[in-house]
Chain A
């Protein structure tokens, strides 16, 4: 299976806990994008990473949110001290190059519920 793998599919956290979302891009893809989707809405851009570099994080809140894409291993989106408003579906996408003109391959998402 060479698709974009996200885990976990579902994550429940209590307010104040940390959430870690993982994304393994398609084989051969070195560009990773994270998007957030609220029910009945489109996807909101959060961050764009290449291996070991954050290229564009303009859509990511300055506090509590961070992302990384290390040389080895999956990309991680980390949310510290979660609040109820963080509840959403978080999607990761990858592309073999800057995907703007080629489109992305998305994973199935992680649905975060903060209780």
Chain B
């Protein structure tokens, strides 16, 4: 069974700080996605990474896919209160149909 473990589970920081959240697995994934979910809403896709070692940037967010395609990280620079939310990583297995989700990192950025 493929599993995705996210860490930390919860993170509370001050506005302006930097942070990194992690998504790890013992399985290889054909791609990984990162989503952000706000209370009462569905997840919103932030990025998809496909190639081992790939780095993608989205304004203050930097996403990296591990060389072996088993892990990923999300780095936020100069966090803002608007970054508050639940960050979910999701992995598409090789040869399978379904995408599985990690339990998420709940980020709270204080003004």
Binding site for B on A (CB under 8 A): 4, 33, 35, 40-45, 48, 55-56, 58-59, 91, 93, 98-109
Contacts and interface: CB of A to CB of B under 8 A. Distances in A.
Contacts of A41: 103-104
A99 B42 contact: no
B55 interface: no
B76 interface: no
Contacts of B81: none
A71 B101 CA distance: 29
Contacts, number: 69
A108 B41 contact: yes
Contacts of A56: 96-98
Interface stretch (B13-21, B44-52, B60-68): B44-52
Interface size class of B (residues with CB under 8 A): 20 to 34
A59 B98 contact: yes
B42 A55 contact: no
A98 B50 contact: no
A108 B40 CA distance: 7
Contacts of A40: 106
Interface string B29-51: 01101010000111111001010
A93 B86 CA distance: 18
Contacts of A35: 101
